[in-house]
Structure 1
Amino acid sequence: MKNLRKYADKPIIGVLIKKMLNFVVSRQANQISQHFSEYLQPVVAFTPELQAESYKIRHNVYCEELNFEDLRSNSQETDDFDGHSTHCLIKHIPTGSYAGTVRIVRTQSAEQLLPIEKYCISSIDEKSVHPSDFPREHICEISRLAIPAQFRKRAADKFSGSATGAINEHSYSERELRCFPFIAVGLYLSAASITLHHDIHHCFVMMEPRLARSLRFVGIPFQQVGPVVEYHGKRAPYYISRKLLMEGLSPGFKKMLHHIEKRIEIQFKKKA
């Protein structure tokens, strides 16, 4: 698979390679969606206790492991955006441990900026899609995706694994491993389900190009809207709309999104 991908952009043969890769990914996606619900489930962090679990994961990854943020005395990484964000966790059902977290930052006014607007607005190309192009209630930013080290593969992956969802092959069964490479995908699909619930149409994110390529490969076509900059590592601004997401997802991952969406809707109904 990895060797074939480098030929995907070549003339003539690239078309055949892409079709072959899409077939393999679609087949894998069906397997992933079947196993995902057996071992992993999305949990919307409505309570302070669950939000604390999210902040602890973020502190472990962003403060202790990557040194992107300063250490906090309470071992919880938080900022001013958390108050108007929805936080989501992925739970590993057999152990009860949390395998990852992500947040969806929303905005209701021009004064309530998204992180990308506050810190990286100059990185968005003037001719590209811009947060100011849309009503405030219809935009959001996905940020603070983090996956604990025990769900990743090797110590050498610690700088990129938190984003890409590499796995610890020695701690879990072969059957479980089928879905762990897609923890990051599950987090993004969980975020997508939350944006659908809130009727948000446009989403921005600062992410590693490597992760963007991986997500695009499985049918989540984030569009790069600016150059790579130094922001918690090499990152670039990306954009996706509800329309692009639904058109890009393969049937297998649409099935996974539908499963996650149902789980999340149940949680919103219980909260209401």
Structure 2
Amino acid sequence: MSLYDQFHQQFEFVLATSEADKRYVYHLRYQVYTSEFGHVMPGEPERQLEYDEFDRSALHCFIRHRATQEPVACIRVIYPGSGHGLRELPIESNSRGEFCHAELNPDLLPRDLTCEVSRAAILGRYRKRQSMPDPVAENEGPIYPRTDNDYKVASLLGVSVYLASTVMIGLMERRHALALMEPRLARLLGRFGLVFLRVGNIQQFNGVRAAYYIDQHQAEGALKPELQSFYRDIVGSLSAQFGEPVHRGVQSRSAVAEYAGS
């Protein structure tokens, strides 16, 4: 069984449509950004929740370990014109004056086809092997990940959240996606065929980052052959969860359904 098959066997993709699911996302982001990295973030730190005003105009997804039901990774796609009065994406203020591409500038992209991918987070225990076992977890019994193979499977979480965002962008009938990310992450995703083009200068924003752009239509076609089946499974999972209750004003894109059936 391939690592991709093992991943789908051990993890599931969930659209966070309910308030309870969104709290899972906000708590996961708090665990990563504040508890692990020490960043000062908005939200309710006293309740261990990280969120901001853009979450009301975003579609959220998290990845859950099937056996333990633990949310382990998440990502969001923010879209303007979503009925909440959002006109400016956060990247437009966070990278103001830093865009350096003559054409791929948020001011020049069609607003109803543009979105931003952000708040990708993966629990540290899944990003790197722990040197010593967690004593609490030891008392509660076996936890995941433990074995070398567990960590090999979990290593797909990084690309998986961005593949999920690619599906979400299509479901929302968007095409032009912006992201403020580390250059090394952009290089890593490029190895899988998710080629983000740098459209901004290197800047300091919770680390070294730059503005990047990706065309969702081209991204689907450029995926590495070994990822095609893996991606179709994500399409099938998220498409089945996407509907009118997910987000008012968001419609399903037929091309995504066609891709799932291809």
- Measure how far apart 1:175 and its partner are: 4.0
Q: Is the 8 A contact 1:116 1:205 kept in 2?
A: yes
The answer to whether 1:85 aligns with 2:53 is: no
Deviation larger for 229-238 or 116-125: 116-125
Unaligned runs of 5+ in 2: 132-142, 247-262
* 1:75-114 to 2 correspondences below 5 Å: 75-108=48-81, 112-114=87-89
SS of residue in 1 equivalent to 2:68: coil
Return closer, same or farther for 1:170/1:72 CA change in 2, 3 Å cut-off.
Answer: closer
Name the CA distance, whole Å, in 2 between partners of 1:126 and 1:210: 20
Q: What SS class does the counterpart of residue 122 from structure 1 fall into?
A: coil
Is 1:38 the equivalent of 2:15? no
By how many angstroms is 1:178 displaced? 3.1
Query: What is the aligned counterpart of 1:146 among 110, 121, 124?
Result: 121
**Equivalent residue of 2:45, what SS?**
coil
Unmatched segments (≥5 aa) in structure 1: 1-29, 157-168
Structure 1 position 242 matched with structure 2 position 213: no
Match of 1:135 among 85, 110, 121: 110
2:224 counterpart of 1:253 = no
**Matched residue, 2:37:** 66
Structure 1 residues 64-73 or 186-195, which shifts more?
64-73
Task: Report the alpha carbon displacement of residue 65 of structure 1 after superposing the two structures with TM.
Answer: 1.8
Contact 1:35/1:178 (8 A) holds in 2: no
Deviations 1:27-46 (A, max 9, x none): xxx93332221011110000
1:210 maps to which residue? Answer: 184
Deviations 1:31-63 (A, max 9, x none): 333222101111000000110010001111112
Check 1:261–1:79 CA distance in 2 against 1; reply closer, same or farther (3 A cut).
same
State the match for 2:158 in structure 1. 184
CA 1:68–1:126 in 2, change beyond 3 Å: closer, same or farther?
A: same
The code of the aligned residue for 1:201 comes to R
For 2:197, the equivalent position in structure 1 comes to 223
2:167 to 163, 179, 193: 193
Cα distance in 2, alignment partners of residues 170 and 85 from structure 1: 30
Q: CA deviation at 1:196?
A: 0.8
The amino acid across from 1:239 in the alignment is Y
Shift in alpha-carbon separation, 1:118–1:244, aligned structure 2, 3 A:
same
> Displacement, 1:98?
1.0
In the alignment, the residues of structure 2 paired with residue 143 and residue 270 of structure 1 have an alpha-carbon distance, to the nearest angstrom, of 23
1:157-172 aligned within 5 A? 171-172=145-146
Count how many residue pairs are aligned between Structure 1 and Structure 2. Answer: 231
Q: Do the aligned partners of 1:86 and 1:105 also contact (CA within 8 Å) in 2?
A: yes
Question: One-letter code of the match for 1:57?
Answer: L
Q: Cα distance 1:133–1:233, how it changes in 2: closer, same or farther (>3 A)?
A: same
CA RMSD of aligned residues (A): 2.3
- The structure-2 alpha-carbon separation of the partners of 1:195 and 1:89, relative to structure 1 and needing over 3 Å to count, comes to same
TM-score by length of 2: 0.81
- Whether the aligned pair in 1 keeps the contact of 2:126 and 2:155 (CA below 8 Å) is no
CA deviations 1:121-152 (Å, max 9, x no partner) are 32211525112222212111010111112212
Change (3 A) 1:64 1:177: closer
CA distance in 2, matches of 1:76, 1:146: 14
Counterpart Cα distance in 2 of 1:270 and 1:105? 17
- Which deviates further from its counterpart, 236-245 or 198-207? 236-245
- Aligned-residue sequence identity (percent) comes to 27
* Larger proportion of helix: 1
